[in-house]
Each structure stands twice: as C-alpha cells, then as structure tokens.
Structure 1
Amino acid sequence: MSDDRRLEVLRAIVQDYVRTSEPVGSKALLERHQLGVSAATVRNDMAALEEEGLITAPHTSAGRVPTDAGYRLFVDRLSTIKPLTRAERTAIERFLHGAVDLDDVVARTTRLLSSLTSQVAVMQYPSLTSSTVRHIELVPLGGPRLMVVLIVNTGRVEQRVLDAGRDLTGSEDVVAELRARVNATSVGQPLAAVPARLATLVDAARPEDASLTSAVADVLRDALEEQTEERVVLAGTANLARVGTDFPTSLSSVLDALEEHVVLLRLMGNLSSTREGDQVAVSIGAENPYAPLRTTSVVATSYGVAGGLGILGPTRMDYPQAMAAVRAVAQYVAEILDG
C-alpha cells in the first residue's frame, strides 16, 4: 500500500465521519470519493490503517472511525489551512470592529468563534507579562474628587475616583504636572514594574504635593493588582449538548472541567508552548493533559503576544475549518488591540 493512497483513504474517512457522525465503510468511500482503486484495495487499505491504530471499528459493523492518532496524522499532513471566504472575513471584521472596549472585544470574539465553528470558544484575557501602560489620565471632578484612569496597551481601561484630601479647585496646574510625572514614570512600562516606579515618584514629590501623589499612586497600585488576574471567557457551551453522542459517558465531566478556569488557563498555556509564532496548535483527545478533557480536541493560537484564544469540541471536528476560523479571528483581534 502506498503512503499517498493510505493518506487519501484516511482523509476520506475523516471527512465522511466528521460530516455524518456514522462509521464509514469501503462501499461509502468508493461512492463518495474518486479513489481510483477497487473495493478490495480500499478494504485492504482500511485493514492496514486499522492495524496501524489510525482507524477503529466502534462495533461489529463494517464501518470504521478515526482514532486520535488518525486525526493527528490527518491534521499534521494538512498542507495548508483553507482560508475563509471573503464574506466570512468581512463579517468577522465588521463584527469585531464594533467593540467599544476590551471586555466587549472578548465577548464578541468568543460569540463569533462559537458561531463560526459550532464549538465552545475560549479566550484568555491579555496576559500581565505582555501588558504595558499606554496612558494615565487624571481628571478633577470638583472639590477634592479626582478621577484616575489607567489605560493598558491591550485596551483595558480601569477608572477610580479618590478623595485628594484637599480642594483641587484652581489647582489645574498641580494636577497637570502630576499627570505628566505619572505618565513619564509609567507609560510603556510592564504592569508589574509600575508600582515600584510609583513609589519612587512619591518619595521625590514636593512636601505640599506628597499627600496627593501618594493617593494617586495607591489608587493606581490597586488598579494594577486587578490587572494581574488571569481570566478566561467561554461561549457556546451548549454546542456540546448538540453533539452528545460524541460524549456517551463523559459530557458531564467535560462540562465540569470547563467551569475550572484554572484548567483552561493551563491548557492554553500548554498549547502556547507547543506552537511557533502565530501558528495554530491542535491538541487531540488523549494529548490533552487534563483527564476529563481527553474526549475533546482544542484548536488554539495567540492574538499578538497578549493572550490565547481557541475552540474546544469533540474529536470529531472539522479541523481545517476550525483552524482557519481561529487563525483569522486571532489576526483581527490582534489588529484591534494593537491599533
């Protein structure tokens, strides 16, 4: 049996099983695909694929289904990821560019990915390690009240209102000077490095401005601590129920695992370590390190250097379409957050 023909038969089995969810027999393969060989040859090829652990018989019928190893070989031998259509890409761009802030971007992204793939969409909020301060604004609100606005390079915005301990009416120059010093100290710096730099700023403040400077620094430190929380957002969990036959005994375990965001963060991190650059990583079945998710597959990539996004679903998945959707959406998200 030639390797090329074996791969062609495997490809046909994967495609048919993904589409129909029914075990695939040699007769169906010959009817649906131009394999150019006899029924006996196809049966021999299928027997060889089964011996190699790439397909298996779920019961005593003549039909076969791909194994995790079969899906892996299929994915690894994809020469290219079929691009989305122009209409699909236009729809993605329009939908995501309507977002008003980072939370909206994340919510729209997960809903969009879930809709495009009919799987569970997972998106990790931008990571602390790659986030920097874009700008800090100080806005007098009248009397002693001052609004502090922290803007991160990923688009995250945090607002706090503090009591300056003194009336700031007529102190526009003082606020403007403090704003300039805070930005000179913080802009472009990693979030984790900013608190120490703010402490230096407080130490260098004039005695008459020390209280105000300290209050602003304390509020910013609180806001920065909230930025350190790693978060993931899901959409489309109900899609798993629609393919319940793919999880005859494990659906409840999968749903429980999806509620453990620490597990998802680790999963996204593991996939990040296996891919290069903006490549799409695929983890299939038993390759997943967390046991309750070993009946699922995960397709993920990064958006810029900020975080990861992807989809999770049964191993019986349209991998080329899922990979194309994940890659395209990630590219648009990166453009929005970097813009």
Structure 2
Amino acid sequence: MATGTDKRRREVLRAIVADYIASQEPVGSKSLLERHRLNVSSATIRNDMGVLESEGYITQQHASSGRIPTEKGYRAFVDSLHDVKPMSPAEKRAIVGFLEEGVDLEDVLRRSVQLLAQFTRQAAVIQVPTLHASRVKHCEVVALTPTRLLLVLITDTGRVDQRNVDLGEAVDDDQVQRLRQLLNNSLQSKTLRDASVSLADLAQTAPPDIAPHVLSAATVLIETLVEQPSERLIMAGASNLTRFAGKSTLRLPGIIEALEEQVVVLKLMANLPELGNVAVRIGEENEDEELQSTSIVTTAYGGEGAPLGGLGVVGPTYMDYPGTISKVSAVARYVGRILAGE
C-alpha cells in the first residue's frame, strides 16, 4: 500500500471515529466529504471505507447503512492520538478551586472523583492511597496532662492519625521536646513499614531518663502504623451510564454490578501506567467479561515520581477519547499537586 494512500485511509478512519463519537449514528461517505476536508472523490472515500472494513477497522450494520468503528478501529484511533483536547481555562479553574476546598485527604479524593464524573459524564473511580506508599512527614507531641500525651502522626499523603499515650510517670516540658525530636529523627521521610522498625530500635536505645516515655509512645505509634486498612475506592457517576442504556453494545446491569464489586475495579488499578501517562483499555481488552462492552481510561496520581494510587473513568467504547484522556490526566495532575502541598 502506498504511503499516501495509507495516510489518507488513516485520516478517513479518524474522521469516521470522530463523527461516530459525536453522533452515535453510522457514518456514510457523503457526510465524510461534507464534514471533513479530505480532498478526494466520493468514489475514493467509498473504496477506502471498503478497505478499512475488510481490515476490520469499521463495520456495516446493514447493507444500506453507513459504517461504525470496531474495537480495532477505536484502538487505532487512540494509538494515533498525539495531541488531546486542551482543557479550557474555566475548566482548569474549576478543578483547582473545587479541589482546594477539600478539608482533608479523603475529601479531596471524593471531590476529584465527583468532578471527573461530572466533566466526562461517565462513571469515575479513585483509589485511596495505599499505606505502603505513604511516608511520615511529621510527628507532633503535645502534653495534655503531666501523665498523658497526644501524638499526631502526619503522612505525605495527607493522612492524619491522633493517639493518646498514658505514661507511668510525669513528663516535663524538656522531656516532651526531646521526645518529639527523637521520634521525628526516627520517623521522618520513612515509609510506614520502615517507620515501625525504626521505632522498635528507638525504644531499645533511648536515653535512660526518657526511655519509659519513648517505649510508651513507640508502642502506641507502632499499633497505629501497622493498622493496615483494606484498600478502598471512591466512586461517582455510575448513574451517568444510564444515558447509554439504549445502546445495544452496553450491557448496563452487568457493568453496574462489576463496578460495585471493588475487587474487579482494584484489579483495574493494579496495572497503572507510569505517573504522567494514561492507559486506555477498549472492549475485550478488559479482562472482566462484564466490562467488555466498555472502555476504561486510567492513570496514576502522586508526586515526585511516586504514585500514590489510581483514578479513571468507565464509559462506552464510543466515548470521547481525546476529551476523556485530557480530563483524567488533568484531574490526576491537580490531585497530585494538592497532596504534595503545592
């Protein structure tokens, strides 16, 4: 196949996919010529469509109807995307303004998934950061009474844990300050798993005069650090999928059921692309049978090259891929910035 012919047919395929995404109506050669500057005759377009159909990129539902893209056609379209739709300044401001109003980590994540569902008009999901990815940012020590301390553990993912520590004997201000310094020297920038090991070592090597206090604080902190909650997901916009219920290709009841089974969605988040990249799984590329009538766009969020979790959207195979990829990428980028305190 000549290079020029091959390039033109790719343009015809992109035009068919774009038109079908916009209208969900079969696309004919006449409408292609009217809507796109292809600079060829209708006979050439019909010939190109015939070749694309024989190669499995488009299909014809009825003898007299136009063509619609196949999953192979959508994959070729997505793989050919070099530029995605830029978000408007208003959309960017909406993202930043809405997310920055979040009062804590979970509120930011809940807002981000609501925003993503609203922007894409599809089902959106975000993974709550897993503990093994968290690092200790700071441990604050406050004397509530001479024999009771408040420990506040803050991680770089925004998690905040507070615990009371009852001491066997009174503690003075100087000892509180030294205890705070010892704990932070031992904990700062460590993963939660490594932090537990450091605390155990610290309890054995602490200065004798505050060793009982260190042991009491370390014991409570280790209990906090090893409390490993199960991985959680926050979802929004599943009702958006009812817009597509009239389309025979979308098996809505099974999709809703699959999304409610968190194990299925956690599997989607297990193989995320590198930070900054976006993955698109189309139709039968999805392992779960119930999701094989959908397309799923996922990415990781985090900061400084360290992913903290994943987010994405689930929608029909005829979703607006450029727009969806752009929105998923943008929301992930802003979530990462906010969690990093930028």
Decide: shared fold, TM above 0.5. yes
How far the C-alpha of 1:59 sits from its partner, in A, is 4.4
The aligned residue for residue 300 of structure 1 is: 298
Q: After the TM superposition, which residues 1-339 of structure 1 pair with which residues of structure 2 at under 5 Å, given as runs?
A: 2-142=5-145, 144-166=147-169, 171-205=172-206, 209-226=210-227, 229-246=230-247, 250-270=251-271, 272=272, 275-303=273-301, 304=303, 305=306, 306-339=308-341
Give the TM-score normalised by the residue count of structure 1: 0.91
Identity of aligned residues (%): 49
Paired AA for residue 219 in structure 1: V
Deviations 1:61-98 (A, max 9, x none): 51221111111100111121222112211221222122
Q: Distance in 2 between matches of 1:249 and 1:332?
A: 31
Partner SS state of residue 301, structure 1:
strand
Unpaired runs of 5+ residues, structure 2, are none
Residues 1:247 and 1:179: Cα distance change in structure 2 (over 3 Å)? farther
Q: Distance in 2 between matches of 1:231 and 1:134?
A: 22
Q: Distance in 2 between matches of 1:251 and 1:182?
A: 52
Partner SS state of residue 143, structure 2:
strand
Paired AA for residue 336 in structure 1: I
Paired AA for residue 282 in structure 1: V
Higher deviation after alignment, 300-309 or 115-124: 300-309
Partner SS state of residue 91, structure 2:
helix
Give the TM-score normalised by the residue count of structure 2: 0.90
Deviations 1:244-279 (A, max 9, x none): 134656212111111222222221222x2xx34412
How far the C-alpha of 1:194 sits from its partner, in A, is 1.1
Paired AA for residue 218 in structure 2: A
User: Which runs of 4 or more aligned residues in structure 1 lie more than 6 Å from their structure 2 counterparts after TM superposition?
Assistant: none
How far the C-alpha of 1:218 sits from its partner, in A, is 2.8
Q: Distance in 2 between matches of 1:78 and 1:160?
A: 50
How far the C-alpha of 1:186 sits from its partner, in A, is 0.6
Higher deviation after alignment, 30-39 or 116-125: 30-39
Task: Count matched residues.
Answer: 334
Residues 1:6 and 1:226: Cα distance change in structure 2 (over 3 Å)? farther
CA-atom RMSD, angstroms?
Answer: 2.1
Q: Distance in 1 between matches of 2:60 and 2:169?
A: 78
Paired AA for residue 212 in structure 1: H
Q: Distance in 2 between matches of 1:145 and 1:247?
A: 64
Residues 1:95 and 1:247: Cα distance change in structure 2 (over 3 Å)? farther
